[in-house]
Amino acid sequence: MNIGDWLRNLGLERYEHAFRENDIDAEVLPSLTAKDLIGLGVASIGHRRRMLDAIAALRAGAPSGTALGPALGPSPEPEPSGAERRQLTVMFCDLVGSTALSSQLDPEDLREVIGAYHHCVAKTVAGFDGFVAKYMGDGVLVYFGYPQAHENDAERAVMAALKLVGSVAALRPRSAADLACRVGIATGLVVVGDLVGSGEAQERGVVGETPNLAARLQGLAEPGTVIISDATRRLVGDLFEYRDLGAVAIRGLPEAVLVWQAIQPSAVESRFEALRAGSLSPLVGREEEIELLLRRWSRAKEGEGQTVLLSGEPGIGKSRIVASVQQRLHDEPHTRIQYFCSPHHRDSFLHPFAAQMERAAGFAREDAPAAKLDKLEELLAQSDENPAEATALIADLLGVPADGRYPPLPAEPQRRRQQTLAALLRQLDGLARGRAVLLIFEDAHWTDSTSLELLDLVVDRIRRLPVLLVVTFRPEFTPAWVGQAQVTALALSRLGSGEAASLVNAIGGGKSFPPEVLDRIVARTDGIPLFVEELTKTVLESGLLREEDGQYLADGPLPELAIPSSLQDSLMARLDRLGPVKEVAQTGAALGREFSYKLMAAVARRTEEQLGDALDQLVAAGLVFRRGSPPNATICSSTPLSRMPPIAPCYAAAVRNCMPESPRCLNSNSPRSARPNPNSWLTISPKPGWSTEPQNIGKEPANTRWRDPQ
């Protein structure tokens, strides 16, 4: 379990840095006391109470002797409020040859084998925040994206599967020969969360094609391999190496489907490049930011090192700006060093620096330890006056055995740690002596505490060096260097409507779009460049438009735009982090872009205090704006969620069920509340002849109907 995710689920991510600084991990967490939390800086009694309640739930759900170890049963889960429609990545894992084993082994020995296999699956899946939904003898059904979504659930599933096939192969039960498993993975929309069965057989059911497809793909896999659907393949981009298996006929599906074998993680350096393979999208509306970075580069080249803190929400274009700066400097002599933080290595000691060293040295997977040491020595000789000592330290960091090739390192871990940090700083000094350095540290919100400590030292060190350091991060990360000399903070804002429209046309190859299509894309993406790009591509690939005379034309009315699959996980993860408040956000999404507080109060089925607290949290999270004070307040969405079909349309039924009870509220609060909202997928269809103009708002229609396009 990831401590950062656990805190975010509670809405207490502000304490993540303190937890990491004090080495609070999944093993230590269940033993924390109120006194410990005070020592961690949790001064609020309410926050401590929330954490202690969650810790108590962890203790209750964990098997004895393992604080957070996986239980041999479905994963412990929060209690979802009911069925939800969401994108889910489903993994189906099968133990190869279990039927033969059952005929060869005594039932007790077979139980030992199956138990070891189940434990291996549970432990591996838990490491990637997957949810074991069901054990079915030698088969295991796993969800990624429920009950807690992450923006990279498909990636987590593939990584877990690749690790799992290796872990199962390494099992050595006393009573069985070598074991092997095979895995199928599929991604798609499902309805999940309905309680099915009763008693010990009760489980959270899932309805849709996706779990069936995952099971069929597992049947196609050879022992020790992972097969994924084309939808999963598109979501994970070039993060992995694949073998194209072509179109395969799947029993029960009308058409053949494209399938892939995931082989291993790829060697692509940047997540940005891996997930957006091919040419970069056009850069629109960022000229001022680019010019500022280039001015700081000019200062840095003169020996006055600069740090630029580039912040913004996901999809706002941080990595795209960094890529543009690299393109501008391509023909200019300089050294470029890039560090990439990973959501999977937040607790890995100096992970971004270790990974960069492996890339710079040119390590290959098949290299023997001696070959890796030779490459390290060659690399460090370019920048360190004592390459032997530096190589010994870096080899230790990378886990490369030195076999007595260098003098022994200090036995004290703290001293060895300090010497390793010093060696990494010396490498930067040596490189900067030759020519100017462009130093890029991406996604600092995912960094480990030791890397952050080293970054502190780098910011201070480069003041006297020809180095431009660019650090990118999301708003939840709070850098310690704001306000320091030679440090510039640059927060990216969303694109304006005109800029978003220009980006749409640029993605379309310079061809103009029909005005109604262009307006709808711009309105539904709220100026977030990634959303603009993905929704535009979805429209172009949908066949709704045809190209003619250098422009796109629509042959008929444009249907409601669905959220692109590439954005589903990210948006759902943002909602899931809200906890119980998520239901209020989803109800608001069903009501539309703008609605009255009274209307929300009528359908939310919460007390005035509960609704007020929920809206306060949504405002604090930046999901909505509130004008005025309840009960006369107006709520406006600040995200694209309300402008597309909600991610969980099962909430439509709840809203519809409430509506017959509140027609007077609907028609007496404000004209805006009663008018059909084109931005809402749940719209009012008034009785023919009934006007929704203000002068008629006091009337109560006899048969207001609700239309659900789904």
For residues 593 and 536, state if they share a domain: no
User: Edge-to-edge strand order for the sheet containing 634-637?
Assistant: 594-596, 634-637, 624-627
On the 0-12 / 13-18 / 19+ scale of CB atoms within 10 A, 251 is exposed
Q: Are residues 374 and 420 in the same domain?
A: yes
Q: Is residue 535 part of a domain?
A: yes
How much is the pLDDT for 683? 32
What average pLDDT values come out for the chain (710 residues) when binned by 10 residues?
79 79 83 80 74 77 38 46 82 91 85 89 92 89 91 95 95 78 95 68 78 94 96 93 94 91 88 75 93 97 96 94 95 95 90 94 92 94 86 94 89 92 94 94 94 96 96 93 94 95 93 92 90 90 87 81 78 75 79 84 85 85 81 76 44 51 47 40 32 32 33
Q: Which residues contact 475 (CB under 8 A, 6 or more apart)?
A: 311, 312, 313
Q: Which of 561, 582, 610 is the last residue of a domain?
A: 561
Same domain, 297 and 246: no
Residue 368 lies in a domain: yes
Q: Is there a single domain that holds both residue 146 and residue 290?
A: no
Indicate the length of the chain as a whole number. Answer: 710
Does residue 278 lie in a domain region?
no
Count of the separate structural domains present in the chain:
5
pLDDT of residue 706: 32
Residues 670 and 636 in one domain: yes
Dig out the tokens for 648 from the structure. Answer: 């969980």
Residues 33 and 118 in one domain: no
Q: Residues 504, 477: one domain? A: no
Domain endpoint, select from 69, 93, 113: 69
Residue 201, pLDDT score:
56
Tell me, what's the pLDDT at 685? 31
Q: Are residues 245 and 128 in the same domain?
A: yes
108 plus 217 within the same structural domain: yes
Tokens of 363: 């390590």
Helix locations, 308-463, DSSP H: 318-328, 351-361, 369-380, 387-398, 413-434, 449-461
Hey, which residues does 88 pair with through a beta bridge? 188
Q: Among candidates 677, 617, 673, which has minimal Cα distance to 642?
A: 677
- Long-range residue pairs from 580-587, CB within 8 A, at least 24 positions apart, any chain: 580/81, 580/614, 581/614, 581/617, 581/618, 583/81, 583/651, 584/611, 584/614, 584/615, 584/618, 585/618, 585/623, 585/624, 585/641, 586/646, 586/647, 586/648, 586/651, 587/651, 587/654, 587/655
Q: Is 148 exposed, middle or buried (0-12, 13-18, 19+ CB in 10 A)?
A: buried
Q: What is the CATH number of the domain that holds 328?
A: 3.40.50
Q: Are 335 and 437 in contact (CB under 8 A)?
A: yes
pLDDT at 307: 97
pTM, two decimal places: 0.74
Last residue of a domain, one of 505, 533, 561: 561
Q: Give the span between the Cα atoms of 221 and 547, in whole angstroms.
A: 41
CATH code for the domain in which residue 598 is found: 1.10.10
Do the domain assignments include residue 281? Answer: no
Tens digit of each residue's pLDDT (9 = 90 or more) over 102-153: 888 888 888 888 888 999 999 999 999 999 988 888 899 999 998 888 989 9
Q: What span, in angstroms and rounded, lies between the C-alpha atoms of 377 and 362? A: 12
Token pair 């260097």 is at which residue? 481
Q: 167, exposed or middle or buried, with CB in 10 Å at 0-12, 13-18, 19+?
A: middle
Residues 445 and 390 placed together within one structural domain of the fold: yes
Residue 280 domain-assigned (yes or no): no
Q: What is the C-alpha separation between 501 and 523, in angstroms, rounded?
A: 10
14 and 84 both lie in a single domain: no
Alpha-carbon distance 94 to 138, whole Å?
6
Tokens of 311: 């912040």
Which residue range forms the structural domain that includes residue 83?
Answer: 77-273
Residue identified by tokens 């929309």 is 189
Residues 303 and 399 both lie in one domain: yes
Query: pLDDT tens for residues 8-50?
Result: 778 787 788 778 878 888 888 888 887 788 778 776 766 777 8
How far, in Å, CA of 607 to CA of 600, rounded?
11
In CATH, what number is assigned to the domain containing residue 182?
Answer: 3.30.70.1230
